[in-house]
Amino acid sequence: MKHSFLSLFSLLILVSCGSTEKALQSTNSVNASTFGYWQQHVDYTMEIDMDVNNYQYKGTQKLVYTNNSPDVLNRVYYHLYFNAFQPGSEMDVRSRTINDPDRRVGDRISKLQPNEIGYIKVNSLQQNGTSISYETVGTVLEVTLNQPIQPGEKVTFNMDFDAQVPIQVRRSGRNSSEGVALSMSQWYPKLAEYDDEGWHADPYIGREFHGVWGDFDVKLSIDKDYIVGGTGYLQGEPTLKSGKKTHHFKAPKVHDFTWAADPDYIHDTLQMPNGPLLHFYYKKTLDQKYLDNWKKLPAETAKLMEFFSEHIGDYPYDQYSVIQGGDGGMEYAMSTLITGERSYGSLLGVTAHELAHKWFQFILASNESKHEWMDEGFTSYISNLAMNSLSENKKSNPLSGSYRGYLALANSGVEQPLTTHSDRYASNGVYGAAAYSKGAVFLAQLGYVIGDDNLDKTIKKYYQDFKFKHPKPFDIIRTAERITDFELDWYFIDFAQTTNTIDYGIASVEGKSITLERIGLMPMPLDISVTYTDGSTENFYIPLQMMRGEKPTSATTINDWAWAIPTYSFDAKKAVKSVEIDNSQMMADVDRTNNVFTIK
């Protein structure tokens, strides 16, 4: 309603000034961005020449940018991520001033020498063949256009740049602790995303990314002895010239491009029936126990791929690569960088998590900087289920670790809401618990609210509706509402936008009469288990009034509970011995000590 009111108000003012035509144009331009979904598009064509002796490379980039927005763009921005790996950068200073720095970063950036830093230097930039002005500001290139980009218009940017690969510090870099030569993520000038919220030219301080959907055509020339894997499909055999091989990759419908290279890679493959070709790159110099782990990995990676495809939706690409590299585990388009010197359980578990990211972030491309919990949390949820499916000793609740992490955060006194920008969390610990644990609980607990079958349907519908798009937080809730016809905005508001907590307790039990109390601010429907004095049991379901619906359940459904009323009483059928609220423990009640009442 705010848009409509403002539009009408502006129209009346302009009409009173005799500017009816301008008023209508203004009204149309305001409303254009509120109707329908749109997203920008990029086509990258890059030629890269890498010198493995000094880890410097030269690049040319042709970028065709389609402005699908209803807005006129006067500027554009590029990310220059490698500039973060320089003494005095925001990433460096933040790492040295936050109270719990990432141990992989610490103060290492501040000690890098000129031949060890990372940089991307733009030498020239043209818009449709005409030079334009630009300024490098940390990890962002600010570009002032000669001609604004009109709605629906395509423009071509041509860039020439030089770069240096930093010593491996965080995610990307050269000569990792395991001896991997090149882990090349966030390595090229990458156009920032523009959407209905405006530009997202965030500096690279420590967290993750947001990118424009598009197609990549990349020619990489590198020493002939290096084996290369990563995003995209290799176009024929590499060509050899002057001691270098040129690898030509194409990657359709992605929002990033990553590669890794090392002269000592072993390259294994596994073709899945009716599925992608799986690639595995790992160093032949690994100890035998680690080599054995990598040899076991392909078969179970295929099982994981099948699990995610069944429970979310089909994997849409023809290849996926697991590559030894990076500094831990990190997802990229069609590929994962993962450190290789791990126990098999760790290798498989991290592979499961990073593979799940292909759905939750690389196909369902949420903004990781703003909505990190949609990325890490949803991935943690589904990867925990997948790992449980492979385990011989299956857990009754494979999300129990996520619940413990969230409950510790909720009771810590330092929790920040999930609306917090990922770089603005007070500590890495709070960020991690919010993004991974609370994000996973958001989905798991949604299953408690609407029923597990409805949650399964919601996830699949969410994937079908938003794959190759940029879903936002409320999209998952609106999808659940469409599946169930429930009202669920209360769940999203309290759990994702505030730090309100769930705390229900049993106030009293007298004979057959049971009285419950709401102590926390967040509302929830309740599952109640009753044991009678004769040893029999009965389950009750108390719907939440503002939910306007009831989940499928075999329990006895009784009257709903209005949130503002702090207590609720009902009569069971017989004399009661004990009562428990939510014996599944899938409701994230922050104090379970008052969830059980037993008559002594």
248 is in an annotated binding site: no
376 is in an annotated binding site: yes
In this structure, which amino acid lies at residue 548? Answer: R
The sign of the dihedral angle between the CA atoms of 387, 393, 399, 404 is: negative
Catalytic residue among 331, 354, 368, 481: 354
Extract the runs of DSSP E, i.e. beta strands, from 189-299. Answer: 190-191, 193-195, 198-200, 214-223, 227-230, 233-234, 239-241, 244-254, 259-262, 265-271, 277-283
Contact 185, 330 (CB under 8 A): yes
Collect all residues with Cβ–Cβ distance below 8 Å to 55 and sequence separation of at least 6. 164, 165, 174, 182
CA–CA separation, 501 vs 496, rounded Å? Answer: 11
Query: Which residue's entry shows tokens 């334009």?
Result: 132
CA–CA separation, 176 vs 285, rounded Å? Answer: 14
Q: Is 131 exposed, middle or buried, given 0-12, 13-18 or 19+ CB atoms closer than 10 A?
A: exposed
Contact 80, 162 (CB under 8 A): no
Q: Which two tokens stand for residue 122?
A: 């733009």
Catalytic residue among 55, 65, 381, 436: 436
Q: Which two tokens stand for residue 319?
A: 């290849």
Collect all residues with Cβ–Cβ distance below 8 Å to 103 and sequence separation of at least 6. none
Q: Which two tokens stand for residue 569?
A: 């009483």
CA torsion, ordered 200, 205, 206, 207, to nearest 10 deg:
-10
Q: Which two tokens stand for residue 207?
A: 């967290």
357 is in an annotated binding site: yes
The question of whether 178 is a catalytic residue gets the answer: no
Coil, strand, or helix at residue 502? Answer: strand
The question of whether 463 is a catalytic residue gets the answer: no
State the binding site for Zn(2+).
Answer: 353, 357, 376
Q: Catalytic residue positions?
A: 354, 436
Which residues does the annotation place in the binding site?
Answer: 353, 357, 376
